[in-house]
A and B are shown apart, each in its own frame.
Chain A
């Protein structure tokens, strides 16, 4: 699998759950790929998925995956022999895999091997893990204490897994790999580790062993290679953010309406070229790649993933031709001894509502509107109110605001409270302001419904305490199963059944035989 000599072609056709649903389908149609990776997760997405799973045991995963697989994506993966690697499993890998297997079976791809990478979910085991001495202290601010302080209200806790499970699954022949919380770039690193022989070389090693140990003996600096692959992964895991979307050069990007998604052509040495799917829309330049390279980065010399600590401070970007940027110079060191854990716990309720205020004196009117609202809520205890004046530099931090007078202002309130009922008073106080506030207030809608707040709590866990698991299964027909297990029987039995099913003058037997043949063609799920 893959062609390390000419670079492995890995597509990234999505940046989060909510991105253009059919983008992967378009990419599969137009682009020669070895792997298609789909990153559906973010810190916020995991919280949402856990909330969904709470309400519905078959939810909690990125259902957009099924939409494009059923819209022709599955056929394209099969025809073009492209491996799909995605974290669409989110908070519920089992439900996701079951739907993917059904989608494969629906197009007759009954031997499509679907791998599940799990082991990331540690929420139910927290007390036991705490017993081993793991403190689960807040990752960025020790003053915020331990995750265990919130044990009563924890909704989820997921450790970030690395690339090893993905590499192992691909090595074992998986056509589709579905993961839960795997580090975004590891989707790409795992694919590379398989393509470049690391997975074969490391087939006997534990899944929580550092991936660098899997490197074939001829690799001199495995951490530099992993750093390069991780950087390539980081560059395409947010989809079109590298190919012209969200670019400071938005004026120069052709055809945003038909924006194409990126692929990385990655070498076994860790260097890569970032390019994009063919089409009119989008552009890849040194500038678009630089913006994405530093997206969501902390210290550029120490970007931690479960696979490697990446130093991208010296990485260079060179435009080799139109829409092709060559990336070199990533350096790597060993990853931290602990894995990041993203957890969330319930933390009260929140609600937002807004009204529009016209000029003259829009800002002054907006402030009076806000004061009126606050006056009507001041009998409530236990609420926090945030007011924003949209159109009046609300997105600008206070120290950068200028003295301007906007011609129109949208007043937006967001209220939080530990008690849901408090928010009802707020919801009922918005529309009345149209008749009982300053002049010309417009734009009221339905009363906003309170939403439950999940507070994100990043922490960490020692690597040895997390065991990634790989499971591969596929839908299979009973006939295929029979062929595999008893080839000698299969010929005779099937030939006889087919003969009997054509007995025109024995309707009972012919019906029975054809029913048996039908049953043999039905699918079942095989879990080795």
Chain B
């Protein structure tokens, strides 16, 4: 089923050189696996098509039940040379919460996630 990412997680983004990280922290730690399934490097590639060709990586952070998404080469060379208003990708952690993502309805229900 489709669900707004913000129903599953809250987020924050930051920059390092020409890379942005978007941390997505599950509202309940056990939902981390739903996040991992929903936001894959492939999905990130679709979101950022036109801004970067990646690479894209996703890491799990089991201690707090989060995933950390890395988007490389997305700041036109980095914060000091980017021509975009959001030259450091600060807004991305919020913007992506509006994305509709696909999750497994049965597994979501088992983990106590209901729309």
Chain A residues with a Cβ under 8 A of chain B: 43-44, 47, 139-141, 246, 248-249, 286-287, 290-301, 312-317, 329, 344, 347, 350, 352, 384, 386, 388, 390, 394-400, 412, 414-416, 453-456, 458
Contact = CB atoms under 8 A, between A and B. Distances in A.
B80 A47 contact: yes
Contacts of B72: 140
Contact of A398 (B51, B64, B99): B51
A4 B86 CA distance: 42
A503 B64 CA distance: 77
A395 B86 contact: yes
A386 B81 CA distance: 12
Given A316-B63, A317-B64, A298 B95 contact: no
A291 B17 contact: no
B49 A312 contact: no
A458 B93 CA distance: 24
Tell which of B85, B91, B93 has the most Cβ of chain A within 10 Å.
B85
A297 B68 contact: yes
Contacts of A249: 10
A140 B19 contact: yes
B50 A399 contact: yes
Interface string B57-101: 101111110101010110011111101111010011111111100
Contacts of A396: 95, 98
A362 B51 CA distance: 24
A414 B83 contact: yes
Contact of B59 (A296, A299, A314): A299
Contacts, number: 150
A293 B62 CA distance: 13
B50 A398 contact: yes
Given A248-B10, A388-B85, A398-B51, A296 B21 contact: yes
B85 A456 contact: no
B11 A291 contact: yes
Given A290-B25, A294-B12, A300-B61, A458 B17 contact: yes
A295 B10 contact: no
Contacts of B62: 313-314
A456 B79 CA distance: 8
B12 A291 contact: yes
Nearest to A458: B17
Interface string B40-57: 000000111111000001
B15 to A, nearest CB: 7
B64 A290 contact: yes
A122 B82 CA distance: 26
B46 to A, nearest CB: 5
A388 B81 CA distance: 16
A312 B61 CA distance: 8
Contact of A296 (B16, B47, B81): B16
Nearest to B91: A395
A290 B99 contact: no
Given A248-B11, A400-B47, A453 B17 contact: no
